[in-house]
Each structure stands twice: as C-alpha cells, then as structure tokens.
Amino acid sequence: MSEAGSQATGKQNAIPTRRRAWMRPVLVAAIAITLNIIAYLTIPPDLAYRLGAFGYLGVFLITLISNATIVIPIPYFGLVAALSPGLSMVGVGIAGALGSVIGESVGFFVGRSGRGVVEQTRFYRWVQRQLEHPWRAFFVLFALSAPPNPAFDVAGITAGAMGLPYWIFLIAVFLARLVRFGMIALFGGAT
C-alpha cells in the first residue's frame, strides 16, 4: 500500500474515533437530563409533601447526598423543584448550593488523595491545563459546575489531584450552584 493510501485510511479511521469520543459525554448528559425530567414528572405528591416538611434542610440534604456520588448522576432537580413552592428562591438557592458544594467536595478530596480515578482524555488534559492558573481555575470550575454537567466530576477530581486550594474550589462551585439552584427554585415556583 502506498504512503498516501495509508494516510487516507488513517484519516478515515480518525473520524469515527473522534465521533465516538464525543458520543459518550453527550449520551451521559442526555440520559441525566431525561432522568431528571422523568423524576420531576413522576414524583409522588406525598413524597414532596413529606420532604417539604423539612423545608430548606430537605433541600440541603437532597443536594448533599445527590452530589456526593462520583460520576453516577442522581436525578434530584425535579425533587428540589417540587419542594420549592412555598419556600423562598434565595433560601432554596443557598440551601441547595451549600449541600451541593459539600457533596461535590467528595470528588475534590478523592482527587487530593492521589488515586488515579480519571481516564486520561482530551477533556481531562484541557481541565488540567486550565487549573494550573488559579484565576482561570476559578472561572473554569464556575462554568463547568453551573449547568447540569456530569463531566464536572472530572474537573473536581482534577482540582483536588493538582493541589488547587480548596477555598478556590469551594467558592467557585458555591457561586455557580447558587445560580443553578436559584433557577431550579424559580422553575419550581418558589417565591
């Protein structure tokens, strides 16, 4: 086979590989969004009513437990939205953000422990380069944690593994989650 023929075959093989690399995160995100919508639509009213008795503490505990899992997305947006009516949007935002950032700290400290739990992907290497600069790290962590993003666990673990100061992680994620839970509370009908 000629050299030009083998280069053309290599380029043709690279396209499906690149497409497959993007398919996994897109598929995980689609599944997470679908599970959250299904959870919101199928939450028994009595469950929301019973958990609603806990008010802000209920929002805090739900987000703490849901975000303490690493890599496995747990649908909790619907439950927080269902608890929001009758609560203040600011209170739901603060309780949800506080529970969420404490839960996400699990990934940070797993990274800090030095165990290699993240696959060396292009996204991991990009996050690693961004986290080398503290101010850039703050904005990258904020941008990755504000929207529903299952890939944020990679950023949290990487931040811990690289020795990023915990206060940068804590403040960036807390502020981003204030935005997230404020919007969830607004969607859920908080006052």
pLDDT class for 81, splitting at 50, 70, 90?
A: confident
The predicted pLDDT at position 54 comes to 83
C-alpha span between 125 and 158 (Å, rounded): 9
- pTM score, whole prediction: 0.72
**What is the distance between the alpha carbons of residues 164 and 161, in angstroms, rounded to a whole number?**
8
C-alpha angle 7-120-131 in degrees, rounded to nearest 5: 120
pLDDT at 148: 81
Percentage of the chain lying above the pLDDT 70 cut:
70
- 64 CB neighbour count, 10 Å cutoff: 20
Q: What is the DSSP string of 38-102?
A: HHHHH--HHHHHHHHTTTHHHHHHHHHHHHTSSSS----HHHHHHH-TTS-HHHHHHHHHHHHHH
Q: Which residue has the higher pLDDT, 59 or 79?
A: 59
Range from 18-22, 77-81, 130-134 that averages highest in pLDDT: 130-134
The predicted pLDDT at position 184 comes to 87
Identify the pLDDT of residue 137.
92
Res 28: pLDDT: 60
Q: Which of 10-14, 63-67, 75-79, 135-139 has the lowest mean pLDDT?
A: 10-14
Q: How far apart are CA 80 and CA 141, in angstroms?
A: 23
Domain boundaries, the chain: 3-188
